[in-house]
Structure 1
């Protein structure tokens, strides 16, 4: 989650919990408080260069994925209210984005998307391929805060892996899902020997991470709760 801190340009919104099964009445659905980026530093450039429709689609992608990252799912009605437009327009935007290969996770569509590679992994892959933060933000519709968070998570996984931690240990120490840790490890294996990615990995590995022995010893100390 984004935690308690709310960043500039963000709002607090109550969305349906991603754990809620389909078919339940709205009044029975558990909700979660999430932070959504209503305005990002790159929005003005998208508006001036690509127009209002492109900006709205960027916001649809950004908000839907931010909600999912925090354990929530927006509905098409939520997005319509947030973006001051109609549900029909949102539905059309989502359809057009899907035709471009971009899936928008909403309460009505998530089950249809299936277990493909996560949006986090796709963004990290772009960074490893040489794209800069601003390029990634423009191409994916994700906010700078989200992009930085995904790259930070990937970097942590790489540092633990380079020091001999197993997938299970990394999952417990990072509180990530098995699936996401495995995707990050697969990316690491794919890109670690590519010349164009060496500078990226040098940046990652230059930051310190506790050795396996010291970290596991700390976890076993009296009064320390293991994950």
Structure 2
């Protein structure tokens, strides 16, 4: 039989942790009426979110910063009815200064050219980490006006014939050209499905779905 005296000695030591402190705070300060298991579940869930926010810090390298933005997958259709308080966000690491930027400066590139390169990079880095930035995010990071970011985005898209994956396009918000229109435009220009997927940052299934919808409308 398990010895009870060991439980009496060591259980208090195991209970001396942040989870216990927060559970006690819920009960004593906030008069939370949930049971012990519910309280602990809520506390552990909150600590998981805190840990997620701390996660990128050790991964930050020279020239990088931590930023948080809206997750690509919101679990519901994003739009103006979804406030930022109710939007799923997560922290990511963005590269503000890279060796390529320094090499461009060394070769005589203008400040505008560097900022356009940074703009393209941070939007793509965010998407690679499951987040979509909007132009206000980028303007705060680059310390300029959102309209200036919009200008950078339009210039890069025109020069490279690509789509910058900002939140306006991926979540169909704001004044951005919707991804549906761009997908159809690339199709009419005879781009292949994989190339359209790459340029618009959408899955092959999503591209196929939009093109099927377009063809149905065309037939009608």
User: TM-score with structure 1 length normalisation?
Assistant: 0.48
TM-score, length of structure 2 as denominator length: 0.50
Instruction: Select the structure with the greater relative contact order (CA < 8 A; seq sep ≥ 6).
Output: 1
Question: Over alpha carbons, which structure has the higher Rg?
Answer: 2
